[in-house]
Structure 1
Amino acid sequence: GLVIAGGADVAPARYGAEPDPRTGPPSLDRDAWELALIEAALADGVPLLGICRGMQLLNVALGGTLVQHLDGHAGPPGVFERHAVEPVPGTLLGRTLPEPVSVPTYHHQAVDRLGSGLLPSAHAADGTIEALELPAGRGFTLAVQWHPEAGDDTRVMEALVAAARGTSPGG
């Protein structure tokens, strides 16, 4: 499986926007490389997990846009906040996390217009989309806005490993 994780803000030009003054400097080479990896994973059916920036890149790769600045989803520089997310029942994420969960989060950008074919599969209390996925039947493509690797709930990571092995989580 492939994991695309956190990092610099995605270049607004990638989704047809002018930079907001609060948008950080992009990493153009990294944007190009990771978008190419996402496109290859989607084309070849490689299990894909996007984390934070990885979720934003997946959305952009499929023609979506981003909110360039959002308050309340990050602590001071380098410090994770926690907030609740509500998984959408019946989705891949909803089967992986069947109950609301408190997650470690550190981001100031979020999904705005959804990319082609993507389904929102979790929301924060303020309505922010916290997870995206492709519908069942299109392989394992899941992206979360939070950082599961920074917490102690391993179910999202276990789901990726199970998909890469061709098994069900725990099986």
Structure 2
Amino acid sequence: MKPLIGVSTYLEASAAWGTWELPAALLPTGYHRLVQRSGGLAALLPPDGDPEAAAAVVARLDGLVIAGGPDVEPVRYGADRDPRTGPPACERDAWELALIDAALAAGTPLLGICRGMQLLNVALGGTLVQHLDGHTSGTPGRFGEHPVKPVPGTLYNDLIPTELTVPTHHHQHVDRLGKGLTASAYATDGTVEAVELAGPGFTLGVQWHPEMGEDVRVMTALVQASAPPG
């Protein structure tokens, strides 16, 4: 049986398709297609107005992906807002932090992508640098790319043991690591590009966007870790 992988979504005040323009929960197709290409079943998880529902949602999943998206509100990690930080996504922050907490408590395999990695760090008491340059293409709506190097002896290194050029689009990154997290990959400028939680389970965050590339190893590892027994 294929494992069921939940993927968090955006929540937009207005989105347009066909003749419609309405509030929408949405997600770029790269995410669910990457889950499917990696052997999983994808279920989209729009924000719930009641974050306490997160535990019940996670209990029905085999694995969880926290997707990329807007900047994490600085108040979540006790910082003042940098002028270059984007507008808050309060409902999404609350919901995804609750999903992360529930997954960690239940031992559910977890993969954070870009914002998802940043939220994982914040959920465990870490902080973020609110702005850096050089990790986007410089063109709105287009991804850049750069190499990342694994740290020997880490889970990520076991999955991808050589330097990998990855699709990237972010201007925030991990500053102080959250409790129990280890940095497991770096960009050439020293930016932390992957984090993981020690222990027998699967908890990994990557700063880049595997859903925009051809390499399925990170998602395949999540799907395999999420496979039901037998």
Q: Shorter-normalised TM-score: what interval?
A: over 0.9
Identical-pair percentage: 70
Instruction: Provide the secondary structure at the position in 2 that maps to 1:93.
Output: helix
* Aligned with residue 142 of structure 2, among 79, 83, 90: 79
Query: Relative to structure 1, is the Cα distance of residues 52 and 96 closer, same or farther in structure 2, using a 3 angstrom cutoff?
Result: same
The residue that corresponds to 1:94 in the other structure is: 157
Q: Which one-letter code corresponds to 2:168 in the other structure?
A: T
Offset at residue 26 of structure 1 (A): 1.2
Offset at residue 95 of structure 1 (A): 0.3
Residues 84-132 of structure 1 show CA distances to partners (whole Å, capped at 9, x for unaligned) of: 0001111110000010100000000000000000000000000000000
| TM score, norm. by length of structure 2 | 0.71
The residue that corresponds to 1:124 in the other structure is: 187
| TM score, norm. by length of structure 1 | 0.95
- Structure 2 CA distance, aligned partners of 1:134 and 1:33? 21
Matches of residues 81-160 of structure 1 in structure 2 within 5 Å? 81-137=144-200, 139-160=201-222
The residue that corresponds to 1:28 in the other structure is: 90
* Aligned with residue 56 of structure 1, among 118, 134, 137: 118
What is the number of residues matched between the two proteins?
166
Q: More displaced, 36-45 or 87-96?
A: 87-96
Aligned-residue CA RMSD (Å): 1.0
Instruction: Provide the secondary structure at the position in 1 that maps to 2:218.
Output: helix
Instruction: Provide the secondary structure at the position in 1 that maps to 2:136.
Output: coil
The residue that corresponds to 2:127 in the other structure is: 65
Q: Which one-letter code corresponds to 1:88 in the other structure?
A: V
Which has the larger strand fraction? 2
Offset at residue 136 of structure 1 (A): 3.3
Check conservation: 1:92, 1:136, Cα contact below 8 A.
no
Q: Which one-letter code corresponds to 2:147 in the other structure?
A: A
Residues 131-166 of structure 1 show CA distances to partners (whole Å, capped at 9, x for unaligned) of: 0000132x1000000001100011001000100016
Name stretches of at least 5 consecutive residues in structure 2 with no aligned partner. 1-62
Instruction: Provide the secondary structure at the position in 2 that maps to 1:79.
Output: coil
- Structure 1 CA distance, aligned partners of 2:145 and 2:219? 18
Instruction: Provide the secondary structure at the position in 2 that maps to 1:159.
Output: helix
Query: Relative to structure 1, is the Cα distance of residues 26 and 127 closer, same or farther in structure 2, using a 3 angstrom cutoff?
Result: same
- Structure 2 CA distance, aligned partners of 1:72 and 1:43? 36
Larger Rg computed on CA atoms: 2
Check conservation: 1:67, 1:109, Cα contact below 8 A.
yes
